[in-house]
Chain A
Amino acid sequence: MSNQNLNQDNHGHSDDHGHHKETFISKYVFSMDHKMIAKQFLITGIIMGTLGMAMSMIFRLQLAFPDMKFPFFEGIMGHWGKDGKLDPNFYLALITIHGTIMVFYVLTAGLSGTFSNLLIPLQVGARDMASPFLNMLSYWFFFLSSCVLVSSLFVDGGPASAGWTIYPPLSALPKAIPGSGTGMTLWLVAIILFIASALLGGVNYITTVLNMRTLGMKMTRLPLTIWAFLVTAVLGLLSFPVLLGAGLLLIFDRSFGTSFYLADIPADMAGGIERVGGSPILFQHLFWFLGHPEVYIILLPALGITSEVIATNSRKPIFGYRAMIGSILAIAVLSFIVWGHHMFITGMNPFLGSVFVLGTLIIAVPSAVKTFNYIATLWKGNLQLTPAMLFAIGLVSFFISGGLTGLFLGNAALDINLHDTYFVVAHFHIVMGSAAIFGMMSGIYHWFPKMFGRMMNKSLGYAHFWLTFISAYCVFFPMHFMGLAGVPRRYYANTAYDQFSTFVDMNVFITIAALIGGAAQLLFLFNFFYSIRKGKKATQNPWNSNTLEWTAPVKHLHGNWPGDIPHVYRWPYDYSKPGSEVDFIPQNIPEEGQTDPLQEMASQHNH
C-alpha cells in the first residue's frame, strides 16, 4: 500500500524534534506524550474498574445470601465484615464507592481520558495535544483523586455511604450515617481533584480538535470518534463546574455551619448549629445538571468508538455520517434540559415535570437514529467479527435494551412507581454501565495494537466477550422484573417485606451470573497484561482501517509521524468503494485529480 510508504519519505529531518534525552521518569511517569498519558489513564482505569467490580461481587453475595456468613469478609474488610457478616453501613459504602468508581473513574476518565488522549492527536493529525503540560497535569490530578478515593476506604467511619449521588442531608450529617464523616470529606476532595482533571483534559481536547487538525482535515472529514470526543469534552466543560459548585456548597454545609441544603435540622443532629432555610432539593438540581450530561459524557465516546469499529469491521462506510453527527449534537444539547427527570417525585411542580418529560423523550429520536444507522451499516456488509466488532455489536444491543426502558422512566407518570427501584438499576446498568463498558472494551481490543504495538489474543477475546455479554444480560435483565415488583434499590437485604422473598432465587441467579461475569474479566486482565509483553507483534494497519492513526509507525514516536504529518484528502469511511481494488482507502490518499491542499492553499494565495 502506498500509504505505508508515504511516511517513510522525507525521513531526513524527522526524528530530531529537539527533545532532550528521555529518562525513565520523563518517559513513563511524568510523560507529556499523549500516547503515554492515554496508557496511564487506561491502566489506572482498569485498576479502579477491577476494584469497583470486586466491590460489586461482595454486595452481590450479600444480596443473594443474606443469611449466610462469609468468613473471608472479615479477612478483607476487618470489622466491617465481622463474623463473616457484611455490616449494613459498609454495604451502603460499597454501593456508593462502586458507583463513584464506575461512573467517574472508569467510564469517564478510563474511557474518555484514554481514547480522547490516544486518538485525538493521531486521528486529527497533530503532533500532540495543544498543551501537553496541562494534559500531564490532567492525568496526575486524576491519579491523585483515585488515591484519595481509595484511601477513604480505610478511614474511621468508613468511606462515603450516601449513594454516588450524595444527596444531603444524608451526606451532610455525620450523625445520620457514619460514612458522612471523614469518608465523605475525602470523597468530596477526590471529586474536586477529579473535576480539575476532567476540565484540564477537556480544555485540551477541544482546543486540539478545533485548532490543530492537519491540512485537509475539515470538520466534515473527522472520524465519528473525534466528533464524539469533542462533544463529550464540551459537555464536561459545561457541566463539571456545576458539580464543583454543588460540592463546594456541600463542603460549606458540612464544615462551616451554613445551611444551603439543610432545612429544619435540629442543632444536635448538625454539629451544634441549628440549620434552617436551606433546600435539599437545590443540591439535586445542581447535581443532576451535571449528572445527566454525565450520562452522555460516558456514553458518547463509547458510541463514537462503536461507529469507528463497526464501519471498519463491516468494510462499509458508516451509514448516514451527517445524521450521526447531527444526532450527537442533538443529544448533547438536549442533555442539558432534561436533568429534572431524575427528580419527578421530589414534589416538583407537575408542569415543570411535563417540560422535562418532553425533553427527555425527544432524546429518544436522535438515539433511535443512531441505532438504525448502526444496523444499516451492518446490512450487506462483510463483517469481520473481531472481538472489537463483537463488543461493538454488544454495545448496540445494550443501547437498544437500555434505551427502551428509558422511555418508561422518562415518562413522569410511569416513573412514580418505578423510581429508585431495581428497574432503574437495570436500566442504567444496561444503557450506561454495560453499553459504555462494551464500548471501552471494543476500543481496547481495536486500538491495543496502536497503544502497545502488539495484538491481543483473539481467542481469549472471544471467550471474554461471550461470557461477559451473556452474564451481563443475565445479571441485569431479570432486575427489571424485581423493579416492577416494587423492590427498592440500595437495600441491604430484601428480607424485611414478605412479598420480596419470592425473589430469593432470582437474586441467587443474578449473583451467580455476576460472579461468572466477574471471572470472565480475569480472562481479559490476563490477556491484556500478557499481550503487552508477549502478544503477537502488530503490523502498522492490522484492521485495514482508513483513519490517520494507522499511518503512524507501530513504534511510538514523540511527535507521532516521522516525517510531515499526512494531509487529508477524503472522509474516513471509504470502505469497499466501487472502482477501488482494495476495500479501504485511507484518508491521506488523494482522489484522482486531487491536488495537495497545501498547494491549493498556496495557489489561492497567489490569486
Chain B
Amino acid sequence: MITATVKNNMNDSHEPHAINPTKFVLWLIIVASIMLFAAYTSAYLVRRGEGNWVMFDLPAVFAFTTGIIALSSITMQWALISAKKDNQGNLKIALYLTLGLGIAFMAGQWIGWQQLVSQGIHLVGNPSESFVYVISGLHLFHMLGGIAFLIAVLIKTFQLKITAKNFLIVNLCSTFWHFLGAMWIYLYFFLLLNR
C-alpha cells in the first residue's frame, strides 16, 4: 500500500540510487529515534555534571537482558539468511526464537524495575533515579514497536508471502531489530559507566 502509486509506473526512469526507498524511510525513522536517545543521554550527562547525583547499582538482571537482546539479534540475522535462502522452516523457527527472546527481554526489564523498587530506587526521586526508568522505559516502548513488526512478519511467513525474491519486510524488520538491540547495549553500558 505504501508504495502503491510508485510501483504502478514501472516504466518510469529515475536517477540511480543505492537504497530502496522504504528501507530509506526506515533508516530515517531510526535516525530520529537515535536523536531522541541522544537527547536523553546528553541531558543525563549535563545533569550529572551539576552534582547532587544519587549513585546506585543497576539491577543485576539488566546484564542478562543485555545478553538476551544480543542473542535475539543473532536469531534475527538467522531469520534473514533463511529468508534469503527461501528456507521457510528455519525462517519460522528463527522468528519464533527472536519473538521469544524479545518477550523475555521485556519481561526482564520489568523484573529489573522491580529490583530497583526493592532497592528503594523509585521513578520519583533524584533525577539519576528517574532517568534510569525513563530511558529504559522509552527503549521498552520502542521494543513494543519491534515486537509488533516481528508479529507482522510472522503472519506474512504463515501466508507464505516471504520468498527469496521478496523478503524486504524481513530485511526491514531485522534492521529495526538490530537497531533496538544496539541501542539497548549502548544504553546499558552508558548507564553502567556514567553512574
Binding site for B on A (CB under 8 A): 17-19, 32, 126-128, 130-134, 199, 202-204, 206-208, 210-218, 237-242, 244-246, 248-249, 252, 256-260, 273, 276-279, 282, 285-286, 289, 558-559, 564-565, 567, 597-598, 601
**Cross-chain contact of A211 among B2, B12, B17, B40 (Cβ < 8 A):** B17
**Cross-chain contact of A241 among B5, B36, B43 (Cβ < 8 A):** B36
Q: Are B126 and A277 in contact (CB under 8 A)?
A: yes
Binding site for A on B (CB under 8 A): 1-6, 8-9, 11-15, 17, 19, 21-22, 24-25, 28-29, 31-33, 35-36, 38-40, 43, 46-47, 50, 52-54, 123-127, 130-131, 134, 138
Nearest CB in chain B to that of A257: its residue: B124
Q: Are B28 and A207 in contact (CB under 8 A)?
A: yes
- Complex alpha-carbon distance, A249 and B43, angstroms: 10
**Cross-chain contact of A273 among B21, B36, B124 (Cβ < 8 A):** B124
Q: Are A127 and B6 in contact (CB under 8 A)?
A: yes
Closest chain-A Cβ to B35's Cβ sits at a distance in Å of 4
Total number of residue pairs linking A and B with CB closer than 8 Å:
155
Q: Which chain B positions have C-beta within 8 A of A244?
A: 36
Q: Which chain B positions have C-beta within 8 A of A239?
A: 35
A-B residue pairs in contact (CB < 8 Å), sample of 22: A19-B8, A127-B5, A130-B3, A130-B21, A131-B2, A210-B17, A210-B24, A211-B14, A215-B15, A216-B15, A237-B35, A238-B32, A241-B36, A248-B138, A249-B134, A258-B123, A273-B124, A276-B52, A278-B47, A559-B9, A567-B13, A598-B13
Q: Which chain B positions have C-beta within 8 A of A131?
A: 2-3, 21-22, 25
Q: Which chain B positions have C-beta within 8 A of A134?
A: 2, 25
In the complex with contacts A133-B2, A212-B6, A565-B12, A285-B43 CB distance below 8 A: yes
Q: Are B13 and A258 in contact (CB under 8 A)?
A: no
Q: Which chain B positions have C-beta within 8 A of A282?
A: 43, 46-47
Closest chain-A Cβ to B5's Cβ sits at a distance in Å of 5
Closest chain-A Cβ to B1's Cβ sits at a distance in Å of 6
Q: Which chain B positions have C-beta within 8 A of A559?
A: 5, 8-9
**Cross-chain contact of B39 among A210, A260, A289 (Cβ < 8 A):** A289
**Cross-chain contact of A214 among B15, B24, B29 (Cβ < 8 A):** B15
Closest chain-A Cβ to B185's Cβ sits at a distance in Å of 20
- Complex alpha-carbon distance, A213 and B9, angstroms: 14
Q: Are A214 and B14 in contact (CB under 8 A)?
A: yes
Beyond A134-B25, A257-B123, 14 extra complex contacts between A and B, CB < 8 Å: A18-B8, A127-B6, A128-B6, A130-B24, A131-B25, A210-B17, A211-B21, A214-B13, A241-B32, A258-B130, A276-B126, A279-B50, A282-B47, A564-B12
In the complex with contacts A242-B39, A277-B126, A282-B46, A211-B24 CB distance below 8 A: yes
Q: Which chain A positions have C-beta within 8 A of B50?
A: 279
